[in-house]
Amino acid sequence: MLSGKGGVGRSTLTVSLGAVLAERNGVVLADANVAAPHLHLFTGVVQEEVVESLAAKAVVDYDLCDHCMKCLEVCRFSAIIGGEEPIIFNCFCTGCGACSLVCPVDAITVQSVVNGRLNILDTGWCRVVAGDLDIGESGSGRLVGAVRKRARLEAEKRGAGFILIDGPPGTGSPAIASMKGADYVILVTEPTPPALHDLQRIVDVVARYAIPAGIVLNRCGMPEAGTRQMPAGLRARNHDLLAEIPLDPLLPAALAEGRPAAEAFRAAPASRAIRRLARTMENRLL
């Protein structure tokens, strides 16, 4: 599930769609929005396991350092700042090791440090694998890869028919990493010009990887909607409009209860649209 723009209801839709699909197929939810994971907030969860995520980072032994600053000169990622002694900013350090190679006194080593974690959670109706990158840390693409891998393992263990990955907003490397190996990309948007503009950008990214994709138009009928006209580029790519989900006041109520809307208010218009979307995805992918 990708959207380009954040705030269009991608995560709430992921949870609701997951709850409907879980009724017949078994589902694993994966939160690949590792910089701000919040899938678990939309449904009650119990923590089952935490797996630390490690990244390679340069570490200076200041007892050995003679302050020559050769390491600063060679770092192409601006991860080292000078002064009286070199200071390494972990958030910019990629662990490339160039600084340790040029250090004349072997004062720098590249070590594995914790920069995030995988949370394995259980909702009662499905497993959730959520990546959680420490604030300001780099390496989101790698952690997203770990989320995907663990979600696949959980799905195999439980015989789940679907893995639903809630991708991050934007079109950068975390979004690309989240759709790697996917059978299908659901693109979520709402009928406003900014959302449709960003949808066009993520559509162009998905097209580069030749993954089948369809669009869900969320919050149809919202008062501030400027247009529900799809941009010309989207029409040209011939993407399916999978579902139009109406703006429904019961969705925030379900959110407040911490329950998937399609489960909490089964007869609500939005819930019925999400159930039709689930049938569509079953027909396409199973």
Question: Is 91 near ligand SF4 (CB under 6 A)?
Answer: no
Give the nearer residue to ligand SF4 in terms of CB position, either 109 or 280.
Answer: 109
Question: Is 79 near ligand SF4 (CB under 6 A)?
Answer: yes
Q: How far apart are CA 132 and CA 115, in angstroms?
A: 9
Q: State which of positions 105-124 bind ligand SF4 (CB under 6 A).
A: 105, 107-108, 110
Closest to 117 (Cα-Cα) out of 94, 92, 142: 142
Structure tokens at 189: 């948007």
Residue 217, classified by CB atoms within 10 Å of its CB into exposed (0-12), middle (13-18) or buried (19+), is: buried
Using the rule CB under 6 A, give the single segment among 98-106, 159-167, 223-231, 245-253 that binds ligand SF4: 98-106
Question: Is 54 near ligand SF4 (CB under 6 A)?
Answer: no
Question: Is 55 near ligand SF4 (CB under 6 A)?
Answer: no
Buried b (16+ CB within 10 A) or exposed e, 97-119: ebbbeebeeebbebeebebbbbb
The residue within the footprint of ligand SF4, chosen from 70, 152, 272, 276 (CB under 6 A), is: 70
Question: Is 225 near ligand SF4 (CB under 6 A)?
Answer: no
Question: Is 126 near ligand SF4 (CB under 6 A)?
Answer: no
Q: How far apart are CA 57 and CA 90, in angstroms?
A: 6
Q: How far apart are CA 36 and CA 135, in angstroms?
A: 9
Which residues form the interface with ligand SF4 (CB under 6 A)?
Answer: 58, 60, 65-71, 74-75, 77, 79-80, 86, 88, 93-99, 103, 105, 107-108, 110
